[in-house]
Amino acid sequence: MSALRIPILKLQNYLLISIQIDLDDQTAIQFQEDLLNKIHKSGATGVVIDLTSVDIVDSFIAKVLGDVVTMSDLMGAKVVLTGIQPAVAMTLIDLGIHLQDVQTALDLEQGLIKLRQELED
Amino acid sequence: MDFKPCVNIRKEWDIVGARQLGREKAKEIGFGTVDQARIATAISELARNIYLYAGTGKICFEIVDDFEHKGLQIIAVDEGPGIRDISQVMEDGYTTSGGLGAGLPGVKRLMDHFDIISEVGEGTEIRASKWVR
């Protein structure tokens, strides 16, 4: 089965992604590649990945998300993860995953505010 | 004991199938959303281990309802290479696949009871249970 593609929307200098499916490994890897290509093509300086509809993040998906944040940073784009559900936050800590270098915000709106502040500094 | 549905793990997509079925079972039994997420995550880790290290295997679900406990037991069985040093794979950060090494120790923390039996060259069986509070 080929991987599903997660839509990546461009808004001014930002890329917005809302993950609304149960992520399998292939889709997660495909998304990583698609996002980096889109950053490269669009010259976006900020990215918000909204996880409001994601009700499970296991160690693999956490690694893919953490890696894509680092990779985007290497390319010069800041990433903020938003909307992490309480249950997801609790399971991540049980798993021993702290995503310490990752910027987060409560929701999409807060995420955009955070990006704007960071990019203006 | 209740009937025992199983999900065969043969391809990567089966990891998603197993955790979705597990979440449904957890919901039926009366687990709250946080414990549903814990159970689904534990299943995902166990199913991925089967897929990565054994190639094929299965994840079975058993509803436990006796005098002491009500809950769900997940049984992950494979006939893969087995684990030589169990204490090593239970250490946080130990990985042979380039992952985070959070899998098995993580499953142990996510669940209330955890048992692992492994025989080199024979396979591995892991039983992990969560009780409804």
Model confidence at B1, in pLDDT bands (50, 70, 90)? Answer: very low
From CA B19, how far away is CA B6, in angstroms rounded? 11
CATH code, B102: 3.30.565.10
Report pLDDT digits (tens) over B110-120. Answer: 999 999 999 99
| B68 within some domain | yes
With beta carbons under 8 A apart, name residues in chain B contacting A95: 41, 45, 100, 102, 106, 109-110
Q: Is the CB of A90 less than 8 angstroms away from the CB of B37?
A: yes
Judged against a pLDDT cut of 60, whether residue A1 lies above it is answered with no
pLDDT digits (tens, 9 = 90+) for B86-107: 988 898 888 887 777 778 999 9
Mean pLDDT (whole number) for B12-39: 96
How high is the ipTM of this complex?
A: 0.90
CB contact A121 to B (< 8 Å) = no
Structural domain includes residue B101: yes
Q: How crowded is the C-beta side of B37, counted as CA atoms within 13 Å?
A: 21
Q: Is the dihedral of CA A32, A85, A19, B38 positive or negative?
A: positive
* Beta-carbon separation of B100 and A59 below 8 A: yes
Percent of chain B clearing pLDDT 70 (strictly above): 98
Q: Tell me, what's the pLDDT at B106?
A: 94
Complete domains list, chain A, with CATH: 9-120 (3.30.750.24)
C-beta atoms of B48 and A55 within 8 A: no
Residues of A within 8 A of B12 (CB-CB) are: 24-26
CA distances from B30 to B1, B23, B43, B70, B75 (A): 17, 11, 18, 9, 19
- List the one residue out of A8, A5, A3 whose CA is nearest residue A25: A3
Residue range(s) defining the domain that contains residue B80: 6-131
Please report, as a single letter, which amino acid is at residue B105.
P
Higher pLDDT, residue B120 or A3? B120
| Ordered DSSP codes for B4-73 | --EEEE-STHHHHHHHHHHHHHHHHHT--HHHHHHHHHHHHHHHHHIIIIIS-EEEEEEEEESSS-EEEE
Strand partners, A16: A9, A48
Residue from A53, A59, A64 to probe the interface with B (highest B Cβ count within 10 Å): A59
Q: For a pLDDT cut of 70, what percent of chain A falls above it?
A: 98
Identify all chain A residues contacting B36, using CB atoms and an 8 Å cutoff.
Answer: 87
* pTM > 0.90: yes
- Can you give the pLDDT at residue B10? 96
Strand-pair partners of A18 = A50
How far apart are alpha carbons A60 and A81 in whole angstroms?
A: 16
Structural domain contains residue B78: yes
The three-state DSSP-derived secondary structure of chain A is: CCCCCCCCEEECCEEEEECCCCCCHHHHHHHHHHHHHHHHHHCCCEEEEECCCCCCCCHHHHHHHHHHHHHHHHHCCEEEEECCCHHHHHHHHHHCCCCCCCEEECCHHHHHHHHHHHHHC
Closest A-chain CA to B43: A58
Helix (H) or strand (E) holding B3: none
HEC per residue, B80-98? CCCCCCHHHHCCCCCCCCC
Q: How many CB pairs under 8 A join A and B?
A: 78
Average pLDDT of span A60-77: 96
Q: Phi first, then psi: give them for residue B36, nearest 5 degrees.
A: -60, -45
Q: How many domains is chain B partitioned into structurally? A: 1
In-domain check, residue B1: no
